[in-house]
Amino acid sequence: MTELDHAVALLREGELVAIPTETVYGLAADAANPAAVAKIFALKGRPSDHPLIVHIAGTAQLDDWATNIPADARRLADAFWPGPLTLILKRQPHVPDAVTGGQDTVGLRAPAHPLAHALLEQFGGGLAAPSANRFGHVSPTTAQHVRDEFGDACPLVLDGGASPVGVESTIVSLVDDTPKLLRPGGVPREAIEAVLGRKLEHHQSNKTAKIRASGLLDSHYAPRTPLILGPLPSLLDEAARRLAAGERVLLLHRSAIGTPTSGIAHQQLAPDAAHFARELYALLRRHDRQHDVLLMEAPPQSPEWLAVNDRLKRAATTRLD
Interface with Mg ion by CB under 5 A: which residues? 131
Number of residues that bind ligand TXA (CB under 6 A): 30
Three-state DSSP at 150 gives helix
Q: Is the Cβ–Cβ distance between 97 and 51 less than 8 Å?
A: no
Show contacts with ligand TXA in window 50-69 (CB under 6 A).
50-53
Q: Does 33 bind ligand TXA (CB under 6 A)?
A: no
Phi, psi of 85, rounded to the nearest 5 degrees: -130, 125
Q: Does 103 bind ligand TXA (CB under 6 A)?
A: yes
Residue 202 CB, nearest distance to Mg ion (Å)? 19
> Helix, strand, coil shares of the chain as percentages rounded to 5?
35, 20, 45
Q: Which amino acid is at 196?
A: L
Q: Which amino acid is at 90?
A: K
Among 33, 131, 141, 142, binds ligand TXA (CB under 6 A): 131
Q: Does 18 bind ligand TXA (CB under 6 A)?
A: no
Q: Does 21 bind ligand TXA (CB under 6 A)?
A: yes
Q: Does 169 bind ligand TXA (CB under 6 A)?
A: yes
Q: Is the Cβ–Cβ distance between 319 and 228 less than 8 Å?
A: yes
- By beta-carbon proximity to Mg ion, the closer residue of 121 and 218 is 218
What gap in Å lies between CA 152 and CA 175, rounded to an integer? 39
Q: Does 179 bind ligand TXA (CB under 6 A)?
A: no
Q: What is the DSSP string of 167-230?
A: SPPEEEE-SSSS-EEEE--SS-HHHHHHHHTSPPEE---TTT-SS--GGGSTT-S--SS-EEEE
Region binding ligand TXA by CB under 6 A among candidate stretches 103-111, 199-207, 262-270, 300-308 = 103-111
Residue 273 CB, nearest distance to Mg ion (Å)? 20
Among 38, 211, 257, 320, binds ligand TXA (CB under 6 A): 211
Q: Who contacts 83 (Cβ-Cβ below 8 Å, separation ≥6)?
A: 22, 110, 111, 112, 186, 187
Q: Does 215 bind ligand TXA (CB under 6 A)?
A: yes
Q: Residue 114's CB: how many other CB atoms inside 10 A?
A: 12
- By beta-carbon proximity to Mg ion, the closer residue of 131 and 173 is 131
Q: Does 31 bind ligand TXA (CB under 6 A)?
A: no
Q: Does 196 bind ligand TXA (CB under 6 A)?
A: no
Q: Does 310 bind ligand TXA (CB under 6 A)?
A: no
Q: Does 146 bind ligand TXA (CB under 6 A)?
A: no
Residue 240 CB, nearest distance to ligand TXA (Å)? 38
Residue 195 CB, nearest distance to Mg ion (Å)? 25
Among 8, 11, 18, 23, binds ligand TXA (CB under 6 A): 23
Nearest to 239, CA basis, from 297, 168, 302: 297
Q: Is 45 left (phi over 0), alpha (psi -120 to 50) or beta?
A: left
Among 7, 11, 16, 24, binds ligand TXA (CB under 6 A): 24
Nearest to 130, CA basis, from 198, 46, 73: 46
Q: Does 142 bind ligand TXA (CB under 6 A)?
A: no
Q: Does 17 bind ligand TXA (CB under 6 A)?
A: no
What gap in Å lies between CA 104 and CA 169, rounded to an integer? 21
Counting every residue written for the chain, the total comes to 321
Residue 229 CB, nearest distance to ligand TXA (Å)? 22
Residues at the contact surface with ligand TXA, assessed by CB under 6 A:
21, 23-24, 26, 50-53, 84, 86, 88, 100, 103, 105-107, 109, 111, 129-131, 168-169, 171, 182, 211-215
